[in-house]
Chains A and B, each alone.
Chain A
Amino acid sequence: MENRLRVLRAERGWSQADLGEQIGVSRQAVNAIETGKHDPSLLLAFRIAQVFGARLEDIFDPKLNSSDRASS
């Protein structure tokens, strides 16, 4: 799943550790989310959205293909 975490974080001048502190995870976890190696849980995704004051879909893009979109 792709996301705009790195961009949003950079816009606010936060380090990965800064963001990690605010959402209650380690710097390594933030790095793994940014690089697409870890998909956050729904709860963590909402926490991230809350910290940035944005909607989930403004931050995360699940890259659904056309058949997924049609069936949803």
Chain B
Amino acid sequence: MTTKTPSALVFTILSVIVGAVIGFFGFSYLFDAWESGGTVSSSDTLAVVLAVLLAGQGVMVLGLSFARRSLGAVISGEEQRSATPAQVARYRMQGAVLMLAAVLLFMPVDPTLLGFIPAPPGNTVMFAIVALLALQSLFNLRLWLGSDEFDRQMIANTSAVSFWATQIPIFLWGAGERIGVLPALGTWDLAVAIMVIYLMASSFITMRHGAG
């Protein structure tokens, strides 16, 4: 018995459509906010852009996990090798981690999630963020436990690079702020900046090691 999976073309088309929808909603939110008086800060803008990129990537990964043959080709580099159930499960978890990261970045900016839910009280939003973060951490832990030494080495390298790339600018900014030549940053500003630096470090390390 053969298992039918969507072709790479169908997967690509679906991913492009869903990615375009996510991008449309994300950037519409920013344009609407700017037009209505420019109430979106630089950190919020960056958070929304990151959320859109992460959601798009999440859709790609999740979509690919439903096309076993295409996923197998991506993983093994061989067209005829379908992905194993374990590989499918791993990609679905990676997709979920990316989608959760997108929601976690977007939720503090717009807790109504583009108006799809009524504006909840702050405590409810915070509870939801803690719950989603706990779920994402659990998925990340399971991904780590299922990683081989090469993946773990890349994660360790990413952590080292992002530590240095984060520590230096934050120290300099803090010094400038203390001296009074730079404006004060909030924790949200720093959280978004650290996320940007981490993702850039991750992309750099992945490209350098020839993985991905």
Residues in A lying within 8 Å of B, measured CB to CB: 15-17, 24-29, 31-33, 35, 37-38, 40-41, 44
Establish whether residues B75 and A27, one from each chain, have CB atoms under 8 Å apart when the complex forms. Answer: yes
Report how far A29 CA is from B147 CA in the complex, Å: 11
CA–CA, A41 and B149, complex, Å: 8
- Contacts A28-B210, A31-B210, A32-B211; A17 near B150 (Cβ below 8 A): no
- Please give 13 more A-B residue pairs, beta carbons under 8 A apart, in addition to A28-B211, A38-B209: A16-B77, A17-B75, A17-B77, A17-B78, A26-B151, A27-B76, A27-B77, A28-B150, A29-B149, A32-B150, A37-B208, A38-B150, A38-B153
Residues of A within 8 A of B77 (CB): 15-17, 27
- Which one of B76, B148, B208, B209 contacts A15 once the chains associate, using CB atoms below 8 Å? B76
- Expressed in whole angstroms, the minimum distance between the Cβ of A40 and any Cβ of chain B is 7
- Candidates A16, A17, A29, A37; contact of B148 at CB < 8 Å: A29
Chain A, residue nearest B74 (CB): A27
Closest chain A residue, CB of each to CB of B208? A37
In contact, B149 and A25 (Cβ under 8 angstroms): yes
Shortest beta-carbon distance from B193 to chain A in Å: 29
Question: In the complex the two chains form, what is the Cα distance from A49 to B212 in whole Å?
Answer: 26
Q: B75 — which chain A residues lie within 8 A by C-beta?
A: 17, 26-27
**Complex formed: what's the CA distance from A15 to B78 in Å?**
9
10 A-B pairs with least C-beta separation:
A29-B150, A17-B76, A25-B148, A28-B211, A37-B209, A38-B150, A27-B76, A41-B149, A29-B148, A32-B209
Please name all residues of chain B whose beta carbon is closer than 8 Å to the beta carbon of A24 when the two chains form the complex.
Answer: 148
Question: Complex formed: what's the CA distance from A32 to B77 in Å?
Answer: 14
Min CB distance A1 to B, Å, is 14
A26-B148 in contact given A32-B209, A32-B211, A38-B153 (Cβ < 8 Å): yes
A27 to chain B, nearest CB (A): 5
Residues of chain B with a CB closer than 8 A to A28's CB: 150, 209-212
Q: What's the minimum C-beta distance from A38 to chain B, rounded to whole angstroms?
A: 5
CA distance A35 to B112 in the complex (A): 48
Q: Which chain B positions have C-beta within 8 A of A16? A: 76-77
CB A3 to nearest CB in B, in angstroms, measures 14
Whole-angstrom distance between the Cβ of A34 and the nearest chain B Cβ? 10
In the complex the two chains form, what is the Cα distance from A71 to B174 in whole Å?
Answer: 47
Residues of chain B in range 109-154 having any CB-CB distance to chain A below 8 Å: 148-151, 153
CB-CB under 8 A from B78, the residues of chain A are 15, 17
Contact yes or no, B149 A40, CB < 8 A: yes
